[in-house]
Structure 1
């Protein structure tokens, strides 16, 4: 029996590897921060269509700061 773990970029459950198929490009490499950020903001907007873009961005940055792939990225680290 395999133990599922989570994508280090978005937290989605995965069976193997560090990143899920949503967070990688065609060659299996982690997408750029900007691309992943925009896709995660869009996902948040679908979950909460009434939220303002600024709030969605703040929520996304806060979440990304908890992910191993992004927690040290300059856009998510807090001074």
Structure 2
């Protein structure tokens, strides 16, 4: 029986993606520190906003709004919705 795909509980990235697997079983390498601890809310929002703006070119303010809207739909951040 195939093993179901696992996703980061913070950003939704497939943990099978290149460079995604870090020390945590629940979070990707981009959402954690070197010990596998989830980064702060502000670090998560800033990192995702920078990524979104880099390919959507919407500006920092709109990218932050989109990052907050997206992250609060994820299990790790649902309490911030």
- State the TM bucket, normalised to the shorter chain: 0.7 to 0.9
Gaps of 5+ in 1: none
Q: Which has the higher strand share?
A: 1
Question: Structure 1 or 2: larger helix share?
Answer: 2
Name the residue aligned to 1:56: 63
In the TM superposition, structure 1's runs of 4+ consecutive aligned residues that sit over 4 Å from their partners are none
Counterparts of 1:52 and 1:29, CA distance in 2: 29
Alignment pair present for 1:7 and 2:15: no
Alpha-carbon distance in 2 for matches of 1:22, 1:2:
23
Give the equivalent residue in structure 2 for 1:47.
55
Segments of 5+ residues of structure 2 without an aligned counterpart are 17-23
CA RMSD of superposed structures (Å): 1.5
Figure out how many residues of one structure are paired with residues of the other and give that number: 73
- For residues 64 and 25 of structure 1, the distance between their equivalents in structure 2, rounded to whole angstroms, comes to 18
Q: Separation in 2 of the partners of 1:24 and 1:2? A: 24
